[in-house]
Each structure stands twice: as structure tokens, then as C-alpha cells.
């Protein structure tokens, strides 16, 4: 119920200022108990999306988010560095630890190699949108300081040391926010998050970074531009770095044609 109502508020389907039906009416509409409705409304109120007025009911406050941050998957590395320059970051932790087994395997480390583990929260327009946990081999992490990581993108720091990224593996999924992540991102426990795992490699397949990124879907989206390729009978969609934007994105001056930028 919380996720369903939250989606309707964030999407604008439920307009700011509108009064929600009573708890009893909502319970009947969705065939759940009044307790369930009350708990869902409490979570929405905690996120400042609704306002409970004694003797009057519950009113929509609406989502006050600006334009969400977007990431172009076909040009991921350039976007990561640019985002590091245009968003604010809060460094939660910075330490050197023994590498978990999955990190050792993914980064192709020696069994006794340690890693630098950092946790950061990125914000845009003063609203947190990502919770980033990164693992970097200690021999690479020693090339920059805690203060450096609090001010520059991790990938930029790695490449500043003379190392060059060449390839990466990436997986995108979804998870629910645990209490620690929920508090850092200012959302309710159990809220849905975009989950992205990326492993970056350098020359000869050298492991350079293992990133676990969690994003608020109301503040961040992943996009990919595609182009139709292949001969007749075997045509397929393939990623491209070209960006095509519609009239809705470019405004009325763009007309009805697709505009390439």
C-alpha cells in the first residue's frame, strides 16, 4: 500500500492539495485492513508526501523533487566523472579491510590482498539520490586520501594516478532499502531502489574498482540510446552514444521531429 500510494503521488497522479479518501474507504477500495492503510500513510507522512490534519483527513503534499539525475549507459565512464563534478557527496566511511570473497574474485586479487572500502552518499539539489559502496585494491587506494575522495569522483582519482580504465562489467537490478540505506537517503525502510553493480578493469584485465550503487528511482534513471543495425533478416538493436530527444524533452520549439544532440 505504501509503495502503491507513493508511486501515485510521485508520478503526479494524486495532485498536491487533494484530500485522500478516509482510511475506511481506502481499506475497502484496496481490500486491506485499516491498520495497513494507517501504517502506509504514516510512512508517507514521514517522507513529507502527505499531511495528516486532525479532524479533517489526509492531504497530498506532493513530491517536491526537481528534474531527476539521468545516466547514459552507453557512455557510462564519462557520465560518472561528470556526475562527480556536478553533485555533492558526503563521505560516510573510508577504511582498509580484508576483501570479501566475492570482491577478491571479481577484482582478480591475490588471496591476501586488502581493499579500500568507502561509502558515499551523493545529492543533487540538496536531495540524496545514491548510496555508493566501493572497493578498490589497497595498492591503488593508497594513491589518494580521504579528503580527495570527499571532493572528487573515485574514477577520476584512479585515472589521475596514471591508471587507465579499459573495460567494465555491469549488472542492474532492484532491491529494498535496509534501515541504514533508508536513513542515509531519507526514504522509508523497504522502499524500492535501483541496484547497480559495476566492476572496472584496466590494462590486461587488472581489477580496479568494484562498485555497489543504490539509487532512488524517483531521483535517478538509467537510459540507453539504441540504433537499429544489421542486414535484412538479422537486424537488431545496438547501443549508441548518439543522443536522441523527443519534443517533450526539447520543448515546443523542437517540433514533432526527433532531434539529435
147-196 pLDDT, tens per residue?
999 888 888 898 888 888 889 998 888 988 888 999 999 988 888 999 99
Which cell is 70 given? Answer: 539521468
Q: Which residue has the higher pLDDT, 78 or 132?
A: 132
Is the per-residue pLDDT at 58 higher than 90? Answer: yes
Is the per-residue pLDDT at 242 higher than 70? Answer: no
Residues 6+ apart with CB under 8 A from 57: 19, 20, 22
b/e per residue, 104-135, with b = 16+ CB within 10 A?
bebbebeeebbbbbbbbbbbbeebbbbbbbbb
- Distance CA(167)–CA(184), nearest Å, equals 31
Is the per-residue pLDDT at 21 higher than 90? Answer: yes
CA torsion through residues 250, 255, 258, 259, sign = negative
Model-level pTM greater than 0.85? no
- Looking at residue 246, what is its pLDDT? 42
What confidence tens digit (pLDDT) does each residue in 81-125 have? 455 545 789 999 999 999 988 899 999 999 889 999 999 999 988
In the structure, what pLDDT confidence band is assigned to residue 68 with cuts at 50, 70 and 90? Answer: low
Average pLDDT over residues 48-53: 90
Is the per-residue pLDDT at 71 higher than 60? Answer: no
- Looking at residue 248, what is its pLDDT? 36
Q: How many residues does the chain have?
A: 261
Average pLDDT over residues 16-33: 92
Is the per-residue pLDDT at 250 higher than 50? Answer: no
- Looking at residue 253, what is its pLDDT? 35
Alpha helices in 150-224 (DSSP H): 154-160, 179-185
Q: Tell me the pLDDT of the chain averaged across its residues.
A: 82
- Looking at residue 218, what is its pLDDT? 83
DSSP state of 250: H
Strands (E), the chain: 50-53, 57-60, 69-72, 88-98, 114-124, 127-137, 167-176, 192-201, 207-215, 220-223, 226-229, 236-239, 244-245, 259-260
10-14, 52-56, 97-101, 118-122: segment of lowest average pLDDT: 10-14
- Looking at residue 63, what is its pLDDT? 62
Amino acid at each position: 500500500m505504501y509503495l502503491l500510494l507513493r508511486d501515485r503521488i510521485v508520478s503526479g497522479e494524486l495532485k498536491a492539495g487533494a484530500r485522500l479518501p478516509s482510511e475506511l474507504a481506502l481499506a475497502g477500495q484496496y481490500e486491506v485492513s485499516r491498520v495497513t492503510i494507517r501504517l502506509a500513510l504514516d510512512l508517507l507522512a514521514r517522507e513529507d508526501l502527505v499531511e495528516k490534519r486532525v479532524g479533517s483527513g489526509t492531504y497530498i503534499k506532493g513530491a517536491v523533487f526537481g528534474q531527476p539525475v539521468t545516466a547514459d549507459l552507453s557512455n557510462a565512464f564519462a557520465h560518472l566523472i561528470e556526475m562527480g563534478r556536478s553533485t555533492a557527496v558526503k563521505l560516510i566511511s573510508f577504511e582498509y579491510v580484508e576483501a570479501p570473497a566475492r570482491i577478491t574474485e571479481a577484482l582478480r586479487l591475490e588471496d591476501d590482498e586488502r581493499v579500500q572500502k568507502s561509502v558515499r552518499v551523493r545529492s543533487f539539489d540538496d536531495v540524496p539520490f545514491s548510496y555508493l559502496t566501493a572497493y578498490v585494491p589497497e595498492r591503488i587506494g593508497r594513491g589518494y586520501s580521504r579528503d580527495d575522495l570527499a571532493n572528487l569522483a573515485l574514477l577520476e582519482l584512479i585515472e589521475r594516478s596514471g591508471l587507465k580504465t579499459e573495460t567494465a562489467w555491469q549488472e542492474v537490478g532492484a532491491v529494498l532499502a535496509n534501515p541504514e540505506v533508508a536513513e542515509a537517503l531519507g526514504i522509508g525502510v523497504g522502499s524500492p531502489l535501483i541496484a547497480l553493480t559495476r566492476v572496472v578493469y584496466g590494462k590486461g584485465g587488472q581489477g580496479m574498482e568494484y562498485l555497489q550503487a543504490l539509487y532512488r528511482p524517483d531521483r535517478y534513471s538509467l537510459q540507453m540510446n539504441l540504433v537499429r543495425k544489421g542486414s535484412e533478416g538479422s537486424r537488431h538493436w545496438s547501443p549508441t552514444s548518439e543522443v536522441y530527444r523527443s519534443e517533450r524533452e526539447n520543448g515546443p520549439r523542437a517540433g514533432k521531429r526527433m532531434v539529435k544532440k
